[in-house]
Amino acid sequence: MDDLKYGTRDKRGNWTPNKPAGTAPLFVFPPQPLALLKWLPSYFLPYNALFFLSALAWWAWVIPSVEVMQTLAWGWVLWLFAVNAVAVFLWYSAFELHLYIRRAQGNRFKYNGKFPADTPSDVFWFKSQNLDNFLRGFLSGVPIWTGLQVLVLWCYANGIGNWVTFADHPVWLVFLCLIVPVIHEFHFYCIHRLIHVPILYKWVHSVHHNSINPSPWSSLSMHPVEHLAYFSTILYHLILPSNPLIALYQLHYAGFGAVPGHVGFDKVELTEDTGIDSHAFIHYLHHKYFEVNYGDGLIPIDKWTGTFHDGTKEADERMKERYRQKKERLNARKTTPAE
Ligand SMILES: [Zn+2]
Ligand SMILES: [Zn+2]
């Protein structure tokens, strides 16, 4: 595909889409029913549908029987860990292999002109972003993901929580399925905003931000505290009337869904003239500029709070003005004499 039909490339090789990043037509006033209808297919396809199907597959073929899960035992816990690890490896590697190892589409649609493997850096373990990100994902990401999965399934098996069936509450559960990404967005925004508080940023979130030029393995490259906060989105299903299948979907949405946002390319090409939109631009800008786009644009909280960046020069100016005002406030505080 000719990416210059869709965007521009600067002297450094960084590609920017012509179309500014937008937020979903949800939670807007007045409502925009036509825009909503046009947007709906992209809400379901391909990722949300895929993660729902993967949860269904886990429920059918991976999750042990209720009797087994009533008792915590290494057998089924390690089984779940192994399946999660293999699935993460295959799903993440598919993007990594195609786009970053084989570099099958070169740097077409790539926001940052450089590939992380070409720029070793001291901030990473073994100076390698790939190795560092990969190890963090498997050493703490998948274990914490599995730990929370086991906790919720054990609660379900022991009748702890507000579990309901599709036969008894079909309307509510279908609605809950539909809003799984919205719950994720709300949770992600809240914890993400929190870990940008300077002390938590330094201690916890800076690990994730080491990857200024994110690639697939950056998705789960986090401090264990962030992994815990990130995956605890499944715990909403212990409070809300829910079903374990939807709880699994929520977890898959967080675990597998992190990849598209960190893929580093605006489109993944399928053929000469078709490609899948990654919707990664909003979060790419967060990795680039740090204090913009705390959310992913499903709920426009960043727009409401003035931290939204759509990739345009005007948004750049607004961001710089915000940083300048912040600096001024900090300087004023520093120069105020102690009473
Ligand atoms: Zn990120
Ligand atoms: Zn951040």
pTM above 0.75, yes or no: yes
pLDDT of 334: 78
**Any idea which ligand is nearest the CA of 211?**
1
Report, as an integer, the average pLDDT of 15-39: 93
Say how many Å lie between the CA of residue 232 and the centre of ligand 1. Answer: 17
Three-state secondary-structure class, residue 15:
strand
pLDDT of 152: 98
pLDDT at residue 44 is higher than 70: yes
DSSP state of 70: T
pLDDT of 263: 95
Say how many Å lie between the CA of residue 272 and the centre of ligand 2. Answer: 35
What is the rounded CA–CA span in Å between residue 262 and residue 252?
16
Strand partners, 269: 275
Q: Where are the beta strands (DSSP E) in the chain?
A: 7-9, 15-17, 267-269, 275-277
Residue 51 · residue 252 · CB < 8 Å: yes
- Average pLDDT, rounded, for the chain: 94
**Any idea which ligand is nearest the CA of 294?**
2
Say how many Å lie between the CA of residue 262 and the centre of ligand 1. Answer: 6
> Percent of the chain at pLDDT above 70?
99
Say how many Å lie between the CA of residue 185 and the centre of ligand 2. Answer: 14
Summarize pLDDT for 129-142 with one digit per residue, the tens.
999 999 999 999 99
pLDDT of 337: 62
pLDDT at residue 338 is higher than 60: no
pLDDT of 333: 82
pLDDT of 123: 92
What is the rounded CA–CA span in Å between residue 37 and residue 35?
5
pLDDT at residue 160 is higher than 90: yes
Residue 184's pLDDT band (boundaries 50, 70, 90)?
A: very high
Say how many Å lie between the CA of residue 218 and the centre of ligand 2. Answer: 12
pLDDT of 124: 93
pLDDT at residue 255 is higher than 60: yes
Report, as an integer, the average pLDDT of 232-253: 98
> Percent of the chain at pLDDT above 90?
91
Query: Which contacts (CB < 8 Å, 24+ apart) does range 162-171 have?
Result: 162/238, 162/239, 162/240, 162/241, 162/242, 163/241, 163/242, 163/243, 163/244, 164/241, 164/242, 164/243, 165/243, 166/243, 169/241
pLDDT at residue 23 is higher than 90: yes
pLDDT at residue 73 is higher than 70: yes
Strand partners, 268: 276
Summarize pLDDT for 101-157 with one digit per residue, the tens.
999 999 999 999 999 999 889 999 999 999 999 999 999 999 999 999 999 999 999
What is the rounded CA–CA span in Å between residue 115 and residue 130?
10
pLDDT at residue 339 is higher than 70: no
Strand partners, 242: 163
What is the rounded CA–CA span in Å between residue 80 and residue 141?
14
Strand partners, 276: 268
| Burial class of 148 by CB neighbour count within 10 A (0 to 12, 13 to 18, 19+) | buried
pLDDT of 272: 87
Say how many Å lie between the CA of residue 294 and the centre of ligand 2. Answer: 6
What is the rounded CA–CA span in Å between residue 143 and residue 189?
23
pLDDT at residue 174 is higher than 90: yes
Q: Which of 16-20, 239-243, 325-329 has the lowest mean pLDDT?
A: 325-329
pLDDT of 97: 96
Query: Which contacts (CB < 8 Å, 24+ apart) does range 256-260 have?
Result: 256/50, 256/51, 256/54, 256/87, 256/88, 256/91, 257/47, 257/51, 257/184, 258/219, 258/220, 259/91, 259/92, 259/95, 259/216, 259/219, 260/47
Three-state secondary-structure class, residue 215:
coil
**Any idea which ligand is nearest the CA of 212?**
1
Other beta carbons within 10 angstroms of residue 98's beta carbon come to 17
Report, as an integer, the average pLDDT of 239-251: 98
Say how many Å lie between the CA of residue 305 and the centre of ligand 2. Answer: 16
Contacts of 317 (CB under 8 A, 6+ apart): none
Structural domain spans, the chain:
31-292
